[in-house]
Structure 1
Amino acid sequence: MSMLGTKWKLHGTGKSVRPGEVVRPDERLTWPLTIGIGMQHVVAMFGATFLVPILTGMPPATTLFFSGIGTLLFLVITQGRVPSYLGSSFAFIAPILASQQQFGIPGALGGVVLAGAALAVVGAVVQKFGAGWINRLMPPIVTGAIVALIGLNLAPAAKSNFDKAPVTAFITLAVIIVVSVLFRGILGRLSILVGVVVGYLVAMIRGEVDFAKVDGATWVGLPHFQTPEFHFGVVGLFVPVVLVLVAENIGHVKSVSAMTGQNLDGVSGRALLADGAATMLAGFGGGSGTTTYAENIGVMAATKVYSTAAYWVAGIFAVVLSFSPKFGELIATVPAGVLGGAATMLYGMIGVLGVKIWVQNKVNFSNSINLTTAAVALIIGIANYTWTVGDLTFNGIALGSAAALVIYHGMKAIAKARGTVAEPETEDPASVATAAVKAAAKRAPKKRR
């Protein structure tokens, strides 16, 4: 491929994918099919990407613009080797809401820029030295705890919107649940988007939607750009987000590697650097922080098409769509009840994703270090403990994330020095056998010389 990753080979005849084959990142189908798949990627990311700015009060069209630009930037930096769409990250919702209360939207944007810069630095280090140190710093028990507490920390925000229009919220949530199991293929994967649309129609019937700003908006125009302000007080809010973004990106690269049969470990640092750069760019212009999207992995798994050409189409289409102020204002009219219903599902899903990390990695909770790490971190995050030092305020997400890291590595160091923890960290049979042998060796009497 070229340095930009834009020279694709035609896959076979370009009209189909034979059983057992996939369209690799450096291949493409015919352009009509590629354009169709690219637009499908936009639809897949649509619901989740727009919910973040709606929930945080940010301009939806601006977020869409930077998600498209960020995707194109990601493809360039990774040289077209990692097919991915960069949509709004849910990990930014809590810190953006918290920072807005004290510093307004400009202050929140400053936090987004700082998080992006930190992620870019991590990416540069990973590209230079490899990702092994990340796995040691953030083993599955720590990563799962941080992801889980970010979602569960947002539970009060979901309830607040739900209570404003319970009927609409309940219908929205019910439709999301039913659609996810009622339909197959792409429609089933877009259950949140379908639920939001149905909930929106219900809200219209109930008179809960205000179209005043939509009527006054033009069809074509620039997105609403805003500049950031930098405050030291937001650092504690946004640092934990970087840990989540690292986990999401590394997981995305590994998923694509598994599905395509290509080893992409050598480009994982570039993926982190690219996401960091895209997030910084969004923060400087008024958009939400970005991350690689699991929704689009679902589209690739369903179509067997991993061509980055489709993502170029998706990124360009998103940018074009963002130049309609009327469309942006229409998205912004989504009422509280619809948001409450969708957020109940979304925030819960984030929490359960943390548990999924534990399950997939067979984390052993008979190990007291694992149990303590998760227990303390989750309570701090869910209850939203806060700690203020001068102008710097740390909320439940920051403190919970710090607790997970400090408790895990602190207890592990003490246990190693004292030899007090015999239980393995995972339930992998090999680990269990190894731990049993070590425990038996410690119990055996030492021979006198």
Structure 2
Amino acid sequence: MSHHEILGPQDRPRLGYWIPLSIQHVFAMFGATILVPLLTGLSPSTALFTAGTGTLIYILVTGAKVPAFLGSSFAFIPAIIAISASHGMAYALGGAFVAGIFYCLVGLIIKFAGTAWLDKALPPVVIGSVIVVIGLNLAPTAMNMAMYDGAGNYSLVMLSIATVTLGVTVVSNIFLKGFFSTIPILIGLVSGYLFTLIMGLFFPAYHIIDFQVVRDAPWFGFPRFGIPKFSLVPILTFVIVSLATICEHLGDTLVTSKVVGQDFYKNPGLHRTLAGDGLATAWAALWGGPPNTTYGENIGVMAITHVYSVWVIGGAAVIAVILSCVQKFGALIQTIPTAVMGGISMLLFGIIASSGLRTIVESGVDYKDKRNLTISSVIFVIGIGGGRLAFNITGGVEFELAGVALATVVGIVLNLVFPKSRAVIKDED
């Protein structure tokens, strides 16, 4: 296979190329996939396992026609943190499981009714604003990880670790070329980790990383089966947030179609890609892993290499599963300092918010129109300001919508209630 040869979705490369091409995809998804469980208190090893097996489920449901790798979703981080704090992690997993089933239901509706109703309920002004809120909602979390030690005290040591990590990640993201341009998060993570180790060697008082957990861990093991629990508030919270991630799925599928040069909206169809994504998310919840989503990082790898083979994506999924079963590897991941994750998160959470702005800009949302300006303004204030709607239902059950979920609901309602300007109506006609 020459460097410029294009491999289509059904093409299988020779083994000598297949393995390194698959490993490249593992590197691309690795940093972001393990970051989500580290931020939410879930297991990184389980996240790798559910990302790999979830990708294989997606390939099966889509008839091995779409080269997409599924990894941990950042959009659900605020919901996981909030629900696990108020109800417990088991209920957060239950909400994620139902959200996955909701994906399948939306896919079924799309199969028979098309996507016009979804476009009407969630236009770019709503979904772009919600994505901005998702990113900025996480900004305090990133700064807290970057500036405070385990006891909650401000620490210049932690801030220096976070700064070095952020600096290397930014430089890698902007200046590196080729394969290395697809893994700036991983490069930043390793650099911050090495900086922390070196600092601990020269200044014993700043020794942060403890390898005892690695020494105590067995070499091999299997992720334990989770037990999700179900309650009304967590379920509604995750289902509402999933409206935003469904639109994210539609965008990723469209981008993948453009990169590969095939219309995946039609073949295998959005109903199948959504069902694959949803089943992978429900499967992840059963194992105690974070919800899955199609990964833009891996789309970028395909765009650079022109290798669109589903076989390569499947190989990456198998490698991820193998890595998840090496328990010492999972224990090593857990030794990553919080400040390192904070430095990476400062960029990563900002990128999420910026992708929302990109959605708004590329969709041509006109903010001279007071309707659009009002919808975005209200979404921003409710979502970022910590808006909360709570009341008791009969039987002492408390209902609550807060943050991203409440902002999404309010945005949808405002979009459906506010009349469109005459110019917009004329353009649509």
Q: Which residue does 1:315 correspond to in 2?
A: 317
Q: Which residue does 1:16 correspond to in 2?
A: 2
**8 Å contact kept, 1:235–1:392:** no
Q: Which residue does 2:297 correspond to in 1?
A: 295
**Higher relative contact order, structure no. (Cα contacts within 8 Å, ≥ 6 residues apart):** 2
> How is 1:33-182 mapped onto 2 (pairs within 5 angstroms)?
33-164=17-148, 165-182=158-175
Question: In 2 relative to 1, CA 17–201 (structure 1 residues): closer, same or farther, beyond 3 Å?
Answer: closer
Question: In 2 relative to 1, CA 107–178 (structure 1 residues): closer, same or farther, beyond 3 Å?
Answer: same
Q: How big is each residue's C-alpha offset from its partner over 1:143-162, in whole Å with a ceiling of 9 and x where there is no partner? A: 10111111111111111111
One-letter amino acid of the counterpart of residue 261, structure 1: G
Q: Which residue does 2:265 correspond to in 1?
A: 265
**8 Å contact kept, 2:223–2:287:** no
Unaligned stretches of 5+ residues in structure 1: 1-14, 416-420, 426-430, 439-449
Q: Which residue does 2:154 correspond to in 1?
A: none
Q: Per-residue deviation at 1:203?
A: 2.2
One-letter amino acid of the counterpart of residue 69, structure 2: Y
Q: Per-residue deviation at 1:225?
A: 3.3
One-letter amino acid of the counterpart of residue 274, structure 1: G
One-letter amino acid of the counterpart of residue 238, structure 1: F
Sequence identity of aligned pairs in percent? 37
SS at match of 1:392: strand
State the TM-score, normalized to the length of structure 2. Answer: 0.91
SS at match of 1:80: coil
Q: Which residue does 1:214 correspond to in 2?
A: 214
Q: Which residue does 2:342 correspond to in 1?
A: 340
Q: How big is each residue's C-alpha offset from its partner over 1:218-276, in whole Å with a ceiling of 9 and x where there is no partner? A: 11111243211112221342123211221121112211221222222121111111110
Cα distance in 2 for partners of 1:292, 1:240 equals: 19
Unaligned stretches of 5+ residues in structure 2: 149-157, 201-206, 393-397
Q: Which residue does 1:244 correspond to in 2?
A: 244
Deviates more, 1:380-389 or 1:68-77: 380-389
One-letter amino acid of the counterpart of residue 168, structure 1: I
> How is 1:370-449 mapped onto 2 (pairs within 5 angstroms)?
370-390=372-392, 391-412=398-419, 415=420, 421-424=421-424, 434=427
State the TM-score, normalized to the length of structure 1. Answer: 0.87
**8 Å contact kept, 1:84–1:296:** yes
- Report which of the two structures shows the higher radius of gyration computed on alpha carbons: 1
Cα distance in 1 for partners of 2:350, 2:237 equals: 20
One-letter amino acid of the counterpart of residue 366, structure 2: N
Q: Per-residue deviation at 1:28?
A: 2.7
Q: What's the Cα RMSD here?
A: 1.7
Cα distance in 2 for partners of 1:32, 1:251 equals: 33
**8 Å contact kept, 2:161–2:340:** yes
Deviates more, 1:41-50 or 1:380-389: 380-389
Question: In 2 relative to 1, CA 125–422 (structure 1 residues): closer, same or farther, beyond 3 Å?
Answer: closer
Q: How big is each residue's C-alpha offset from its partner over 1:334-366, in whole Å with a ceiling of 9 and x where there is no partner? A: 111111111111111111110000111111111
**8 Å contact kept, 1:149–1:351:** yes
One-letter amino acid of the counterpart of residue 16, structure 1: S
Deviates more, 1:352-361 or 1:124-133: 124-133
Cα distance in 1 for partners of 2:102, 2:95 equals: 11
Q: Which residue does 1:279 correspond to in 2?
A: 281
Cα distance in 1 for partners of 2:3, 2:272 equals: 29
